[in-house]
Amino acid sequence: MKDAPPIIEFVEIHKDYVTEAVVVRALRGVNLTIRKGEFVAIIGQSGSGKSTMMNIIGCLDRPTRGQYILDGIDVGARSNDARAIVRNHLIGFVFQGFNLLPRTTALENVELPLVYRGVAAAERRKRALASLSAVGLGARLHHTPNQLSGGQQQRVAIARALVTQPPLLLADEPTGNLDTRTSYEVLDLLQRLNREQGITIVLVTHERDIADCAGRVVEMRDGSVRRDIVNERPTDAGRALAELPVQDEHGATS
């Protein structure tokens, strides 16, 4: 892992928000390198700057100062459209609120990134089906988000993130709306994707238990990296799941 090429390089990244003459310094000179194949958790209280960091890593926002190199591309200064293309090709997003399109079937949600890539309909369908079965959702393809449980919705979101086969998966509080059992199911899925397919995963959370599933934990406080430690023995989410008391899979609330 130490020898793998870097996928994320933050060089003195600053982010200031100017609101009503008050300057909020959300990031204050962050230096961070994440290599291909890593599973990194970014942890911190609200206001620590972890969400801002996530927005910049995901090319949703631009740093005020500093250099951000994603997979060898300096994306900090790129235009809106260029960053949209980078998002489409290099990044898969998984959000806390799932962020699936309402009144749109699971299959169509998963196809959407390929629509913006200009992939033909038949090919889109094929790849979306493959991606959905990879996350264990072979059925319920034509259900809309409100007909799916929270865990199922998050699986659809992960399938959507993976359908473009991006090298980087960004998960922002992916278990925030899920119960413990479903949380571990999702984490198990992320660990397996990281282990078996070598996808780099950056997971943002404020829960220590969740962060412990990652191989490296970056702790944020007041817009700076406070600690950056390698987790020698990450929690195996699959094993943690097996140790949980047995309950009905769909009885859980979400």
Is residue 84 at the binding interface for other proteins, with CB under 8 A as the rule?
Answer: yes
Is residue 93 at the binding interface for other proteins, with CB under 8 A as the rule?
Answer: yes
Which residue's CB is nearer to other proteins, number 49 or number 234? 49
Which span sits near other proteins by CB under 8 A: 40-48, 68-76, 79-87, 183-191?
Answer: 79-87
| Full DSSP string of the chain | -TTSPEEEEEEEEEEEEEETTEEEEEEEEEEEEEETT-EEEEE--TTSSHHHHHHHHTTSS--SEEEEEETTEE-TT--HHHHHHHHHHHEEEE-TT--PPTTS-HHHHHHHHHHTTT--HHHHHHHHHHHHHHTT--S-TT--GGGS-HHHHHHHHHHHHHTT--SEEEEESTTTTS-HHHHHHHHHHHHHHHHHH--EEEEEES-HHHHTTSSEEEEEETTEEEEEEE-SS---HHHHHHHSPP--TTTS--
Residue 85, classified by CB atoms within 10 Å of its CB into exposed (0-12), middle (13-18) or buried (19+), is: middle
Least separation in angstroms between CB 63 and other proteins:
13
Which residue's CB is nearer to other proteins, number 127 or number 160? 160
Which span sits near other proteins by CB under 8 A: 88-96, 180-188, 209-217, 243-251?
Answer: 88-96
Which span sits near other proteins by CB under 8 A: 29-37, 107-115, 127-135, 233-241?
Answer: 107-115
Least separation in angstroms between CB 172 and other proteins:
8
Based on its alpha-carbon atoms, the radius of gyration of the chain, rounded to whole angstroms, reads 18
Structure tokens at 129: 């089906």
Least separation in angstroms between CB 171 and other proteins:
13
Is residue 121 at the binding interface for other proteins, with CB under 8 A as the rule?
Answer: yes
Least separation in angstroms between CB 30 and other proteins:
17
Q: Round to whole Å and give the CA distance between 100 and 122.
A: 22
Question: Do residues 70 and 83 touch, judged by C-beta distance below 8 A?
Answer: no
Pick out residues in 19-78 that bind other proteins (CB under 8 A). 51, 55, 58, 60-61
Which residue's CB is nearer to other proteins, number 15 or number 181? 15
Is residue 177 at the binding interface for other proteins, with CB under 8 A as the rule?
Answer: no
Least separation in angstroms between CB 178 and other proteins:
19
Which residue's CB is nearer to other proteins, number 160 or number 216? 160
Least separation in angstroms between CB 92 and other proteins:
8
Which span sits near other proteins by CB under 8 A: 32-40, 114-122, 174-182, 245-253?
Answer: 114-122
The binding site for other proteins (CB under 8 A) comprises 51, 55, 58, 60-61, 80-81, 84-85, 87-89, 93, 95, 99-103, 112-113, 115-121, 160, 164, 172
